[in-house]
Amino acid sequence: GGGGSQSLGVALEVPPSSQAVVFDIAAAISFVSAGSALNNMHAMLGAPGAMLDFDGCRAAAVAEWEAVLGQVELADAAALAETRRDELVVLYTAAYHAHLSPTTYTEANGEFMGFDGAVHTLPYAAGNATGPRHVSDLSLWDTFRSHAPLMVLIQPDMARDTVNSMLSMYQLSGNQTFPMWPMANVETGLMVAHHGVIHIADAIKRGLRGFDKETALEAIVYTIKLQDEKKLGAKNYASIEETRRSAAKTLDYALDAGALKTLGEWLNRSDIVEMFANHSQAYRNVWSSAAQQFCPRWPNGTMSCQYPYIPYGLGGKGF
- Per the structure, the complete domain to which residue 317 belongs is given by 137-319
pLDDT, tens digit, for every residue of 46-71?
Answer: 888 888 889 999 999 999 999 999 88
Mean pLDDT of the chain, nearest integer = 89
Does residue 147 sit in helix, strand or coil? helix
Residue 173 sits in a domain whose CATH number is: 1.20.1050.60
* pTM for the structure as a whole: 0.88
- Upstream peptide bond of 182 is cis (omega within 30 degrees of 0): no
Whether residue 51 lies inside any domain: the answer is no
Residues 143, 149, 154, 159, CA torsion sign: positive
Whether residue 309 lies inside any domain: the answer is yes
Domain count, the chain: 1
* The predicted structure's pLDDT at residue 289: 94
Whether residue 163 lies inside any domain: the answer is yes
pLDDT, tens digit, for every residue of 7-58?
Answer: 777 787 887 888 888 888 888 999 999 999 999 999 989 888 888 889 999 9
pLDDT, tens digit, for every residue of 83-131?
Answer: 888 998 999 999 999 999 999 999 999 999 999 999 999 987 766 777 7
- Angle, CA 108 vertex, CA 107 and CA 113 arms, to 5°: 15
Whether residue 199 lies inside any domain: the answer is yes
Whether residue 117 lies inside any domain: the answer is no
Does residue 145 sit in helix, strand or coil? coil
Whether residue 220 lies inside any domain: the answer is yes
